[in-house]
Amino acid sequence: MALETLQKLAPFMRRARVVVNGRERLAHLGGRLAFIVVTTDISENSRSQALHDFPGPVYQCLTSEDVERLFGLKNTKELGVMRSALAEAVREDLTPYLLKREELLKPRRKDPGE
């Protein structure tokens, strides 16, 4: 499985308090975050908002149930990880799940016929 490192290090990340959730808290800590993980069951609008609000890397790889199981955070769709050695170890594992901003934040053009 590609997320083995994340699963192994999740208890340590939780104990070290490098995992944060909540949009306001993520916005407040934006410069101190290494990356953000959005769940696969997040809405398209929320995902676009996360990409727009956070300048760093955004990964989409877990479900809400996985976040609850690994980190004990219920109903969490966005998860921030603060800069740390643990974050760097996990970040390498998440590379295939990186969201490409250029493709997802393209301005939508209206049809001339509309």
What pLDDT sits at residue 35? Answer: 94
Q: Rounded CA gap, 6 and 35, in Å?
A: 13
Domain tally, the chain: 1
In a domain, 89, yes or no: yes
pLDDT confidence of residue 112: 60
Which runs of consecutive H residues, i.e. helices, occur in the chain?
4-15, 23-28, 44-53, 64-71, 85-93, 101-104
pLDDT of residue 85: 93
Q: Is residue 109 part of a domain?
A: no
Tell me how crowded residue 18 is: count the other CB atoms within 10 A of its CB: 21
pLDDT score of 111: 57
Whole-structure pTM value:
0.82
Q: Does some domain include residue 53?
A: yes
Domain with 60, as residue range(s), is: 4-99
Residue segments in the chain with a per-residue pLDDT below the cut of 70: 1-2, 103-114
Domain contains 108:
no
Q: Which residues contact 25 (CB under 8 A, 6 or more apart)?
A: 80
In-domain check, residue 12: yes
> Helix 4-15 to helix 85-93 angle, to the nearest 10 degrees?
160
Comparing C-alpha atoms, which of 48, 24, 21 is closest to residue 36? Answer: 21
CATH number at residue 66: 3.30.1330.30
Structure confidence at residue 1 (pLDDT): 47
Q: What is the structure's pLDDT at 68?
A: 92
